[in-house]
Amino acid sequence: MQAPYQIFKRLSDNRFVWVENIEELQEARGRLAHLAASSEAHYVLFDPRAKSVVAHQM
């Protein structure tokens, strides 16, 4: 079973690489914000059940 939320980092060639899975939406949003604050990379929060991006941070 997939975790409810997955964080991906966008690479310079516009491909994405998986970073981690997180169970809770609020926790996932916090982690996404933390990653974006500590890096100049672009991150997305993906919900595989809905097959959609829930949030993104630059």
Percentage of residues of the chain with pLDDT beyond 90: 83
Are 23 and 5 spatial neighbours (Cβ–Cβ below 8 Å)? yes
| Chain mean pLDDT for the chain | 92
Say which residue the tokens 């998986």 belong to: 18
Tell me how many domains the chain contains: 1
pLDDT of residue 3: 73
Please state, in angstroms and as integers, the Cα–Cα distance from residue 15 to each residue in 21, 24, 54, following that order.
18, 25, 18
